[in-house]
Amino acid sequence: MAFRWTPDLTEKDVTDEAAWLNRRQIMAGLGGLAAAGFAGGAHAAEGLEPNSWEEITSYNNYYEFGTGKDDPARYAGDLTIAPWTVKIDGLVDRPGNYTFEDIMSKMTLEERIYRFRCVEAWSMVVPWTGFELADLLGLAGVQSGARYVAFETVLRPEEMPGVSRRVLDWPYVEGLRLDEAMNPLTIMATGIYGRDIPRQNGAPLRLVVPWKYGFKSIKSVVRISVVDSEPPTAWNKSNPSEYGFYSNVNPQVDHPRWSQATEREIGGGLFASRKPTLMFNGYEDEVAGLYEGMDLSRNF
């Protein structure tokens, strides 16, 4: 493990999750873990704490397993995650099928605490383990002319009961602009609290883009394509008036059916007060420059 990007969150902000801390001590003993800070972004110093393992892994969306918040935890156990291969193609120098083990042998793992903001106006804080997407794209070799990166989720109807309902046009697909994909905040996550990422949270490899609504952070990735034009994305194809390509967290741009000005923190209890939503989910200092000159109400 290593830390190459150090903002204002520190180890004191981490909740008492014994398994995670013990693993960090073991890794430190092996000389693989740096001693300083966790990634989190601006406005994070006011007592921010990660949600518990149980909250993170039992309350989430993964529609391939059902539309209920507990459906992924109930039904994702049958998903086969080994062996796992990611096809990387398009405008790259070294296209091919990369095994999960090969990818992991070449990447530098880091631990990062990120806010997670769902488009449904709920939020949590997740301590991820993963590596920068830029490093994986560098492994494949991005060619000139590349402007976007497209992603695809595994599709196994025999293991994913939710795909029998045409909630979306399967397989689930997502995309980023190349500069978004190369931003140091953008990671491919392989773990939570130092443990392997559970199937219901996108095992064995998922995207995490912390300044965007959660549906952009595509799960169980099997294909990454570097392309020259904006790729289709699942929710945008389903309802473009409600789900734009960019999907940046923006309290000033409401969803057509609810306000995005505030959010409900998971773990705060049924009657917990809502808190104000931060621009770019609190990562404005790090990513606002990506959208300089853009009309964010139109490019939502």
What letter would DSSP give residue 162?
Answer: G
Q: How far is it, in rounded angstroms, from Cα 35 to Cα 276?
A: 32
Residue 184's DSSP bridge partners are: none
The verdict on whether residue 118 carries a ligand-binding annotation is yes
The verdict on whether residue 120 carries a ligand-binding annotation is no
Q: What are phi and psi of 83, to 5 degrees?
A: -75, 160
The verdict on whether residue 63 carries a ligand-binding annotation is yes
What letter would DSSP give residue 52?
Answer: P
Q: Which two three-digit tokens encode residue 82?
A: 């080994």
b/e code 262-280 from CB counts within 10 Å (16+ = b): ebbbbbeeeeeeeeebbbb
Residue 224's DSSP bridge partners are: 88, 151
Q: How far is it, in rounded angstroms, from Cα 154 to Cα 81?
A: 10
Q: How far is it, in rounded angstroms, from Cα 127 to Cα 218?
A: 17
Q: How far is it, in rounded angstroms, from Cα 191 to Cα 189?
A: 6
Angle at alpha carbon of residue 19, lines to 76 and 218, rounded to 5°? 35
DSSP SS3 for 88: strand
Residue 98's DSSP bridge partners are: 86
> Which of 6, 188, 15 is CA-nearest to residue 100?
188
The verdict on whether residue 114 carries a ligand-binding annotation is no
Q: How far is it, in rounded angstroms, from Cα 227 to Cα 28?
A: 39
The verdict on whether residue 241 carries a ligand-binding annotation is no
The verdict on whether residue 10 carries a ligand-binding annotation is no
CA distances from 92 to 100, 143, 185, 230 (A): 19, 5, 22, 17
Q: How far is it, in rounded angstroms, from Cα 252 to Cα 254?
A: 6
The verdict on whether residue 105 carries a ligand-binding annotation is no
The verdict on whether residue 64 carries a ligand-binding annotation is yes
Residues tagged in the binding site annotation? 60, 63-64, 118, 153, 201, 206, 217-219
Residues tagged in the binding site annotation for Mo-molybdopterin? 60, 63-64, 118, 153, 201, 206, 217-219
